[in-house]
Structures are given as C-alpha cells and as structure tokens.
C-alpha cells in the first residue's frame, strides 16, 4: 500500500473510531513521514477532488460550479500517485476574472498577438503533472522522472513539438492509462492558470507543488503561433509565469522541456 493509501486508511479508521493501536503508534513514531504524505500533491483522492476544488475556488472568491469528475480506472488512479499527476478542475474563465495576485501571460511582449492561436479555458477536469521544472543546466534534469523512465526516454529536454505529437504523447497515454485523444500538452492558458494555482496551493494549503516560473527553462504548450511554431512558456529570465515565446515545431533545445496534461 502507498503512503497515501495508508494515510487514507488511518483517517477513515479514526473517523469511525476504529483506529488500530499499531496504526496510531506508527503515526506518532514518524509524524514527518505522514505529514509529507498528507501535503503531497496526490494526497487529493479522486473521490475528494470535487469538494477540494470547490473549497479552493470559494476561498479565491471565484464563482465556480465544479462538476463531478468522471470515474477513473484503477490504472489511472495508480498513475496519479506513480507519476505525480494532480486532478484539477479548470473553470471556464477569462483572464479579466483571474484572482488577485495571479500572474497573467505577457502575450504581446515577445510575440505578435495576431499570430497566437488562443485557446480559452474550458470548464473540465484534467490531470496535470506536478514534477518540478529544473534549470536547463541542472545535471539532475527533471528529477525522479518516472514517467520518462516508463517511456524509455532519458530527458524531457531536447524534445521537439513534433516528437511529442508524432508518438511520444501516445506512448505516455499507454503508460498512464489516460485517454489517448485527451493526453496532450497544456495550452499556454492552462499552463499559466495551473501554475498560479500551484503557487497559491503551496502558500495557502502547504502542498508540495513547484513554482513553474522560478527556473531558467521553458516548456512546450499546445498553442500554435504563426507558421510552423508553437508557444513555449515559463523561463525565469523572460518573465517566469508571464513568459511566453515561440519556437519551431521541429526544433530541439537543451532548455525546452514539457509536462503532460490529460483531459479526464
């Protein structure tokens, strides 16, 4: 049983007044271990996700009706924990309604706005990777990258947009059990909104989530931008969460990586 599963079992037994003496002893003996599990991204059980996000959006002052998440398969539930995916309800919201303090993309600073294929947020459930984004020259790369190990890749860097679209995303869907058609790169809008949520959850919920704008590296997004280009986001030196630029679809670089989103 995973640490998260054991923690859930202890909580259920405690609520029912049935907590075992051995479980309580383990909890007391190693509180830091259980606290680490409780504050991890994947401590949100699928059955608790709707209530969790209702609470988050209520506290942020957003008028969001959170739908029920579709049932996940056993393999998908295991993938949330194994590959560090977080179930997130993305509301249908425009940038002018973002909560105070959220950093918006600087669309026109380095890009011709007329070239950007915008994709507004759409009101649906996703699972998004919570792996930390490293600096491009960090020898560890994306640390403890079990998903890339599962698809037999050594690094997320030096991966082109074409590499992802022409086979890598399908391999990832197969490894995770998430829908093949719904396993994709996040849009720049989704990436930015979720990155802001990560920062808020880290501060206000104590969750172990990365600051995606704090490192000197980029990540691919799904949005096309002009002929043969797609948007990359997130480099600290070019604005962090506000940073948006374009890069050739077939180009590979040691400072451009990616993270995966699955529509549930």
Q: Please check whether residue 185 is in contact with residue 260, taking contact to mean a CB–CB distance below 8 angstroms.
A: yes
Q: Of residues 195 and 37, which shows the higher confidence score?
A: 195
**Quick one: which H or E segment has residue 128?**
strand 124-129
22 pLDDT band, cuts 50/70/90, is: very low
Q: What would the pLDDT profile of 143-181 be if each residue is shown by its tens digit? A: 999 999 999 999 999 999 999 999 999 999 999 999 999
Mean pLDDT of 242-255: 98
Confidence of residue 32 (pLDDT cuts 50, 70, 90): very low
Q: Which has the closest alpha carbon to 187: 252, 124, 251, 101?
A: 124
DSSP at 116: B
CATH of the domain at 234: 3.90.1580
Pick from 5-14, 109-118, 157-166, 170-179: least confident: 5-14
Q: Which tokens belong to 205?
A: 């919920």
Percent of the chain, pLDDT > 70?
84
The pTM (predicted TM-score) of the whole model is: 0.85
Range of the domain at 259: 44-263
Can you tell me the distance from the alpha carbon of 41 to that of 28, in angstroms, rounded to the nearest whole number? 22
**Residues 147 and 29 reside in one and the same domain:** no
Spatial separation of the C-alpha atoms in residues 179 and 133, rounded to whole Å? 24
- Residues 142, 124 share a domain: yes
- Please indicate, yes or no, whether residues 51 and 33 belong to a single structural domain of this protein: no
Does residue 49 share a domain with residue 33?
Answer: no
């Amino acid at each position: 049983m995973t640490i998260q599963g054991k923690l859930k079992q202890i909580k259920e037994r405690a609520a029912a007044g049935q907590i075992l003496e051995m479980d309580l002893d383990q909890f007391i003996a190693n509180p830091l271990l259980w606290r680490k599990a409780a504050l991890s991204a994947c401590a949100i059980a699928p059955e608790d996700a709707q209530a969790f996000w209702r609470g988050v959006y209520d506290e942020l002052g957003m008028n969001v009706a959170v739908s029920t998440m579709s049932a996940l398969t056993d393999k998908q539930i295991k993938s949330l924990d194994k590959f560090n995916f977080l179930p997130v309800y993305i509301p249908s919201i425009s940038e002018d309604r973002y909560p105070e303090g959220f950093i918006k993309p600087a669309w026109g600073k380095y890009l011709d706005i007329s070239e950007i294929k915008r994709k507004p947020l759409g009101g649906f459930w996703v699972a998004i990777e919570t792996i930390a984004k490293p600096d491009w020259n960090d020898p560890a790369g994306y640390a403890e990258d079990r998903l890339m190990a599962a698809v037999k890749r050594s690094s997320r860097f030096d991966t082109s947009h074409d590499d992802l679209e022409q086979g890598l995303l399908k391999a990832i869907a197969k490894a995770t059990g998430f829908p093949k058609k719904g396993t994709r790169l996040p849009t720049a809008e989704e990436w930015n909104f979720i990155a802001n949520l990560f920062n808020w959850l880290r501060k206000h919920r104590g969750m172990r989530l990365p600051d995606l704008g704090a490192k000197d590296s980029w990540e691919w997004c799904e949005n096309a931008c002009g002929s043969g280009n797609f948007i990359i986001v997130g480099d600290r030196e070019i604005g962090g969460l506000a940073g948006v630029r374009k890069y050739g679809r077939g180009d590979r670089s040691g400072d451009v990586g990616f993270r995966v989103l699955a529509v549930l």
